[in-house]
Amino acid sequence: MGLLNFWVADLQAGVGPFLGIFLLSCGWQSGWIGTIMTIGGVAGMVMTAPAGALIDATSRKRMVIVVSSIFTAVAAFLILFSQNFWIVSGSQVATAIAGSVLGPGITGITLGIVGQRGFNRQNGYNQACNHAGNVISAALSGYLGMRFGMHAIVVLSAVFAILAVVTILSIPADSIDNDEARGLSKNAAEHDEARGMSSVFKSKGLLVLAAALAAFHLGNGAMLPLYGIAAASKAEGNPMMFVAFTIIIAQVTMVVASIVAMRMSEKSGYWMVLLISFIALPLRGYIASRMISHTGLYPVQILDGIGAGLQSVAVPGLVAKILDGTGRVNVGQGAVMTVQNMGAALSPAIGGWIAQEFGFSYSFQILGCFALISIALWLTYAKSLRSAYDKSGDCLTA
């Protein structure tokens, strides 16, 4: 599973971070670039919960990953043929829809192979491989983009798609327990029934988690692309390599953070892991507003790596524990991702227009402040969160 996460990470990270720089070189302004990214984000937001339901329902999970990988690569090629607003929008929509399936799909397959008891540790290793894949993708994409342009980055994505397909097909279909993959309890499995969708939406802990993540990603979603555009606007070296370095620094940090999150959650639960991840964003926004340079690149992206790396392990693990026994684990993953993506989808447009009207420094400060909502929610509902999660096991302590 680690190798699959490695190739899928390469595939998903290949084009996206460089799209803003490419469109900027084609004469686009930051507001319209942010709008394009928001369109893709909205499409992903709308499709994430249905994608989770699909993963819960289907026994052909491997084929879902195959089709999504191919669509991601094909969508990347669209932007080479035309930089028309609607063509680029269509490409982002297709990429987002395919991506909305990959996350729940890999989570479901992992749960189906290792079960609930082994999920936290395997998910930690998966996320470490995911972030390592992003490092390789960023380094190769940055180098190829600098030497040969956007065409080379798109071709690289196609190569990663092929490797992802080969890897997922190498996993035996009968090694995936489809009941375990959806979090269906043994008693329920015997009667071939899962609890209704209300089991997802009646969980107070799940709703608080989703709201906190939405606020966090409302600020976080635009940080990376805007930081790259800001550097390009100030002529801070080669823009392709600058963006590549932003990704590499963050993803190397995420490799470490994901392992730390796995260890922390095993010993003391997920509450503190997520609180630390929320605190990282306001600090990141402040530093980004003051240091749009190669020097600022390191603290800004290390903080990004801490926040995202901790969440990459804690969020799937939390949802899996909360909904264990309901048969709706992947729907729950999709529902949380939908609300989370709502924030991420709006972030580029908000950040892009603020940057265009008032400057990048104000944009970074405002974006960073959104995480204060996440911190307030997490602290306010700490006791009720602990009570909610304790019903599913000792997955959260405060």
Check residue 372 and give its pLDDT. 95
In a domain, 395, yes or no: no
Check residue 281 and give its pLDDT. 94
Check residue 106 and give its pLDDT. 84
Distances (CA, A) of 95 to 11, 42, 76, 124, 305: 10, 12, 8, 25, 23
Residue 252, token pair as written in the block: 């190397």
Residues of the domain holding 385: 2-390
- Is residue 92 within 8 A of residue 39, CB to CB? The reply is yes
Sign of CA dihedral 234, 308, 258, 383: positive
pLDDT in tens, the chain (398 residues): 656 655 565 555 556 667 777 777 777 776 777 777 778 777 877 787 788 778 877 888 888 888 888 888 888 788 777 778 888 888 888 888 887 788 788 888 888 888 877 777 787 778 787 777 777 777 777 777 778 777 787 788 788 888 888 888 888 888 888 877 776 655 544 444 444 445 556 677 788 888 999 999 999 988 877 877 776 666 555 666 666 677 788 888 988 998 899 888 888 778 889 999 999 999 999 988 887 777 777 888 899 899 988 998 888 888 877 777 666 777 777 778 778 878 877 887 788 788 878 888 888 889 999 999 999 999 998 876 665 554 444 444 44
Distances (CA, A) of 75 to 16, 41, 71, 85, 167: 11, 15, 6, 14, 21
Check residue 9 and give its pLDDT. 55
- DSSP class per residue in 251-304: HHHHHHHHHHHHHHHHHH-SHHHHHHHHHHHHHHHHHHHH--SHHHHHHHHHHH
**83 CB contacts (<8 Å, ≥6 apart)?**
23, 26, 28
Q: Which CATH number characterizes residue 205's domain?
A: 1.20.1250.20
Check residue 30 and give its pLDDT. 66
In a domain, 363, yes or no: yes
The residue type found at 344 is A
In a domain, 168, yes or no: yes
In a domain, 398, yes or no: no
Check residue 5 and give its pLDDT. 58
- Count up the domains in the chain and report the number: 1
In a domain, 97, yes or no: yes
**118 CB contacts (<8 Å, ≥6 apart)?**
none
Distances (CA, A) of 87 to 74, 153, 355: 13, 18, 25
